[in-house]
Copies of this chain bind each other. A is one copy, B any other.
Amino acid sequence: MSKTIKGNAVVGQSGGPTAVINQSLAGVIEAVKKFPGVKKLLGSRFGVRGIVDEKFIDLKKISPAMIKKVAATPAAALGSTRDKPDTEYCKKIFDVFSRNDVRYFFYIGGNDSADTAHIINELALNANYELRVFHIPKTIDNDLRVTDHCPGFGSAAKFVASAVMGDDRDCASLPGIKIDIVMGRHAGWLTAASMMARQDESDGPHLIYVPEAKLTETMFIDDVAEVYGKYGRCLIAMSEGVEDEHGAAWAERIAKSVERDSHGNVQLSGTGALGEFFSLLVKEKVSARLGGKKLRVRSDTFGYLQRSFAGYASAVDQKEAHLAGRTAVKYAMEGHTSGSVAFRRNPGRTYGITCFRAELKDVARITKPLPREFINERGNGIKDAFRAYALPLTGGLPVIGKLW
């Protein structure tokens, strides 16, 4: 295996946007520029779709000043896609790669993108086509295997914790029951981040429900009534993907019509149905439990703001996402054929990470749930250990002042 190979490089972005996916792109661009062996760096517009359609941007022509601005901008500057290439699709990709002398492929995305990279790498090996394929992790869901955490999560966690922190003060100002629906189809990492909003025992979120712990109607009613009895209010953080006792997603049970993307994922965002359903449950059943007390109940579905809000990214997350992009290029130039960039947390009390190369197959497809040890026994809260894990990734959170 030769160390560097001459040819062109392609970089693409895939899946749901994050606040720092463009940092990784900037990292790739800046690192590639240092290797004269790489002739063109082609940015594919809208992920793999841009490869088969041959819609490329010559990224070396973009000014360093603009790259810097793009890096600080949320969402995918190259455009993203939900396409998941099958064999036919991949053949088209190779066709384009060979015709354009593409020898490096950097794909920034989640586990589906790692899978895409894996498939393409396997096909390249089988076809004896010398290609270096690297996956650069990106997801607000933080659900990729191997790595300690994922670029994109820290910023989303900062957003969710700040939103819930402020909303808890709102709920303390005008007491009632408030339900905040947080993104997370299968994994509760981002919803768990809401626990960082708590500074004192009486602070919300008082209840946190994640898909990893089952949520029954009875449990919900009991929990809310108990918290309300204690504090005269109740703030709830709930994953959009919470499941009932049979493992069925509540949102699916509730939704009259469901929509699936090409990966077979049900779209849970963009609807307030889940929050509305549990609000109604409070109005009817918790109210009855409390002797018919009229309760002020509201719900908010945080939606896309969690992944693309401008101007509030985590500085730590930004730095690490950029590093992940640069590191993928470094691995490729060192002569590795494929891999996914992963983070290992440094030992010691000061937060820091070291990158290492993971195998694509170990990151592809299967997601990493929130470990059970972070969830309390009843399954309605997150333990303090999670704060130690997640707080450094946010780059710090606001501090709350209270008069009582």
Contact = CB atoms under 8 A, between A and B. Distances in A.
Interface of A: 13, 16-17, 19, 22, 43, 45, 57, 59, 62, 66-82, 162-163, 165-167, 169-170, 172-175, 178, 267, 269-273, 275-276, 279, 297-305, 307-312, 397-404
A44 to B, nearest CB: 11
Contacts of A303: 298, 300-301
Given A271-B276, A401-B77, A402-B77, A170 B308 contact: yes
B163 A66 contact: no
A305 B308 contact: no
A17 B170 contact: yes
A398 B267 CA distance: 29
A163 B312 CA distance: 10
The 6 closest A-B pairs by CB, nearest first: A272-B272, A69-B401, A270-B298, A300-B303, A75-B169, A311-B398
A170 B334 CA distance: 34
Contact of A309 (B43, B166, B173): B166
A305 B168 CA distance: 11
A265 to B, nearest CB: 13
Given A17-B169, A69-B401, A73-B401, 7 more contacts: A57-B404, A62-B403, A72-B399, A162-B312, A165-B310, A166-B304, A270-B275
Contacts of A399: 69, 72
A74 B305 contact: no
Contacts of A299: 270-271
B305 A173 contact: no
A390 to B, nearest CB: 16
A187 B158 CA distance: 31
Contacts of A22: 401
B73 A310 contact: no
Contacts of A304: 166-167, 170, 178, 298, 300
Task: Give the interface centre of A73, A270, A302, A398 by most chain B CB atoms within 10 Å.
Answer: A270
